[in-house]
Structure 1
Amino acid sequence: MRLLLLLSLISLSLYLTEGVTLVCYFSSWAVYRQEAGKFDIEDNDPTLCSHLIYAFAGLGTNNEIKVLDPYNDLCENWGKCGYDRFTKLKEKNIYLKTILGVGGWNEGSTKYSEMAADPAKRKIFIDSTITLLKKHDFDGLDMDWEYPTQRGGNPEDYVNYISLLKELSEALHAEGMILTAAVSAGKATIDPAYNIPEMSKYLDVINLMTYDLHGSWEPYAHHHSILYAHPNDTGETLWLNQDFAVNYWLEKGAPKEKMVLGVPFYGRTFRLKDETNTGIYAPAPNPGMAGPYTRQTGFLGYNEICEAQLTTSWTIVHDPDMNEPYAYYFPYNYIWVGYEDPDSVAIKAQYALDKGLAGCMVWSVETDDFHGTCHGRKFPLLNTLLEVLSGGIVTKPPTAPPKTTTTRDPSAPTTTTPRVTGAPGVHCSKMGPNADEGDCTHYYICDKDSSGWIEFEYHCSDGTLFNPVGLICDWTDRKCSQGYCPNDCP
């Protein structure tokens, strides 16, 4: 029986009732990407996922849950109503669970550690979370604290994280909502951070982040979501594969019926040292250059990878010791990328079935080939996962009946908050996020109306600085080590 704490809830996902869980993360900032990389809420296909997670909300200094991009997420001040549009996707699939994710890498750990340590602060966070979820018709919360006891956390997080999950679970279940969590696949993080038997009592789904196991922070090329250890792996590197992570979580007490295997829809890239060595462990002292959509060094979305392979002569390697491809292209700055394709995600989905796991999780839908440019159909990776997990038979879920609408009396008073314009767009050069070149602690969201550019100022959370490449607030240590934001670095 699946999701033991939810047996009293009605109308679980269609795929859950058929024995399949497919959890899909949606990066809300993808709406600010350029050209064919732009992905808005309505670009999601709600019939392909059992759970769809909106990433991310954060934690405010007052210990309340914090809306990180009010212009995109809310309706107030002529915002884009992202939360409400997202939960409205359930009209196309009445079994879909729409969940709000809180945390993520850029939020860090320190303030979550401080909140979890204090019962009064935990209550403030939980009460504000329930209010926000109910206001926008979410079906639950995904707790993405990266990571307890790590990155500015405290050893006491090992215990306090459980208290937070227990209280969150009780509050959410009382409202008919669910609690999920994204968790690390690295042994070095798992051991100090997670009391796995205890946390498993309170989580309905455990999203195992079995990716980013390797990357350009290492001086050699390696696949970041390799299923099994490579023959050349030794020592602690033998832990950096999906099979080890799954088995370790199971051995430590995680129930397999709650666990889902993370599958990345992106690759990790490296810049090779020379042409004579191109395999796993090839010397690669630098990250690969950024792609046209995601604009992040060391990273390419699958859509960026497959589109590049349509127009340039990449060497694609299917190593017999691996279940996933890697590719390299010398004229393109000696780039090397390890990634997933439709064949490899099918292998991973079958692995999840063979292990008796609940299903799979993807990060993230907007870097799939969602236009269908490369394979002749939209979302080829996501569709492949669903087909394997469903045994090759996919039943489309029913849509919600149309809602009765009423015509507003034009003479009735409006409750809409007047738009706040601030400065007349002096920092704007494009739609969406724009950097302040002299100050990385904040940024501007820019829009246009009949009068021209309008800008809205937003401040990055403590410990982060605005990344003008990724268009997000990035972790301060990483930005400063890469030479960004010198005026704001220690």
Structure 2
Amino acid sequence: MDAQAVLRGLLVLIINIVITSAEFNRVCFYSGWSLYRDGKMGLAPEDIDPYLCTHVVFAYATLDDTGTQIRVPDGYETEELNLFRRFHSMRSKNEDLVMMLSVGGWATDSKLFSKTVSSEANMQHFAEEAINYLRKHDFDGLDIDWQFPATRGSPPEDVQRYYRFLRLLQWEFEHEEEPDDKSTLILTISVDPTVERAAISYDLPRYSRWVNWINMKMFDFYGHWNDPCVANHHSALYSAHDPKNVNNLSRYWVNKGVPRHKIVLGLPMYGRSFTLTNRNYTQAGAPCSGPGSDEGDGYPISKLCHLIKNGAKEMVIADKRVPYVIVNNEWIGYDNPESIKQKARIVFNNFLGGVMIWTLDLDDYKGSCGRPYPLINAALDGLNARHGYNELITNAKQDQAQQAAAKKEIYRQRALGWQMQDQQEAIHSQQSGRTGGRRRGW
């Protein structure tokens, strides 16, 4: 074997070691309405597998009327729910879990964020209040999901104001006098990464300088809201003809200057449905009259898998490499474990920052169709993170066994203590009987 062959072999080995040991963020969103999505069978925080994710983000908080203070929708902090406390209970199982809060979402008026960034004083006020709020409620970071700057009542100037706001907020996070047992607060943003949206609402290469990473929502590229309405997959993996696909957009933002390690690819745990105008025309691109039976809310994989299990034929859009099914006059495009694995593979092969799961409760978390969390587990496989996950589970079981053994030893020592005390009491009683004395005490 010549020297060049040896060097090539060493280089391949080094690259494999670097890739295999890379740690990718697995950012899982948990929505406040998860408890109610499926009646009494909703996903409670206590039932989440705390080892699937590196970060769990509670969505959503909102803003007060001034845009300077974080507020949580009514009911989330009531005594009967106490949802934040329950949310943080996951740390009792996995102490390395990072817990974050997301502010915004579609329900938060864009005009409120516009108030936040309208002046330096408002930005400063928000930063101070946000730090107090996050520390008070034991969160490790903040995600901002503004939908969307320069639209829905927000002026075009807000695109640059948002940049100044993120810069100020990150500076305040970094210069906070941190509690002894806490790390610097994390700052992230969630965005619609399509070129059309970014051209209006974001300056992502500049924003990326002041955030830890960007959650890029690689879903909802299409839906019943498009005019004209056509059945189109909302989260294509590839496409030779349509630029709205995960591979193309992730490559686009790297080329535009967003650092690879700050790109976190959003993976949907749900499908988008359409009611076909003509049930005999079922190909992708078929005309539709509106959303399907999910009424535009999204079709959870936990429900969709039952359709397939009961006979609905899964088909694949060849150039987009994502599946769909037809049920009566309903067209549903979604992701299966293979397409999710391939999306996560884009992250792995290109050294991106990780994946973002939207949302935990939309996957088949109960395993009613087989393996629990089939899509999230597929993402683990795509990231080559299976070994790390299994190691966490093994360590947790060992810790539990050690804790159980420690408790057993404590009880054994206590039992011995009582036994010794009983023996001492018996001796004392015998001695007292011989001397005619009386026991004192209890």
The TM tier, using the shorter chain, reads: 0.7 to 0.9
Matching of residues 47-58 of structure 1 within 5 Å: 47-58=51-62
CA distance in 2 between partners of 1:186 and 1:178 (Å): 25
Q: Deviation at 1:298?
A: 5.8
SS of structure 2 residue aligned to 1:58: strand
1:353 equivalent in alignment to 2:337: no
Which one-letter code corresponds to 2:312 in the other structure? W
Gaps of 5+ in 2: 1-18, 179-183, 404-442
Q: Is the 8 A contact 1:20 1:390 kept in 2?
A: no
Q: Is the 8 A contact 2:45 2:86 kept in 1?
A: yes
Q: Deviation at 1:264?
A: 0.2
Matching of residues 54-453 of structure 1 within 5 Å: 54-72=58-76, 74-75=77-78, 78-173=79-174, 174=176, 175=178, 176-218=184-226, 219-229=229-239, 233=241, 238-290=242-294, 296-297=295-296, 299-311=298-310, 313-330=311-328, 334-375=329-370, 377-393=371-387, 394=389, 395-396=391-392
TM-score normalised over the length of structure 1: 0.71
Q: Is the 8 A contact 1:327 1:338 kept in 2?
A: yes
Moved more, 250-259 or 315-324: 315-324
SS of structure 2 residue aligned to 1:198: helix
Partner of 2:11: none
CA distance in 2 between partners of 1:16 and 1:94 (Å): 24
Q: Percent identity?
A: 31
Q: Deviations over 1:70-115 (max 9, x none)?
A: 422x25xx24221122123122112211000000111131110121
> How many matched pairs?
369
Which one-letter code corresponds to 1:49 in the other structure? C
Distance 1:223 1:37, change over 3 A: farther
Distance 1:43 1:65, change over 3 A: farther
Which one-letter code corresponds to 1:277 in the other structure? Y
CA distance in 2 between partners of 1:307 and 1:265 (Å): 15
Q: Deviations over 1:306-358 (max 9, x none)?
A: 123333x322102332321000011xxx1110001111101111111122211
Which one-letter code corresponds to 2:67 in the other structure? N
Provide runs of 4+ in structure 1 moved above 3 Å: 15-18, 34-37, 397-402
Which one-letter code corresponds to 1:243 in the other structure? N
CA RMSD for the aligned pairs?
2.2
Q: Deviation at 1:17?
A: 7.7
CA distance in 2 between partners of 1:126 and 1:198 (Å): 20
CA distance in 1 between partners of 2:337 and 2:120 (Å): 46
CA distance in 2 between partners of 1:254 and 1:245 (Å): 12
Q: Is the 8 A contact 2:345 2:382 kept in 1?
A: yes
Structure having the larger proportion of residues in helix: 2
Distance 1:240 1:258, change over 3 A: same
SS of structure 2 residue aligned to 1:285: strand
Q: Is the 8 A contact 1:169 1:179 kept in 2?
A: yes
Distance 1:325 1:36, change over 3 A: farther
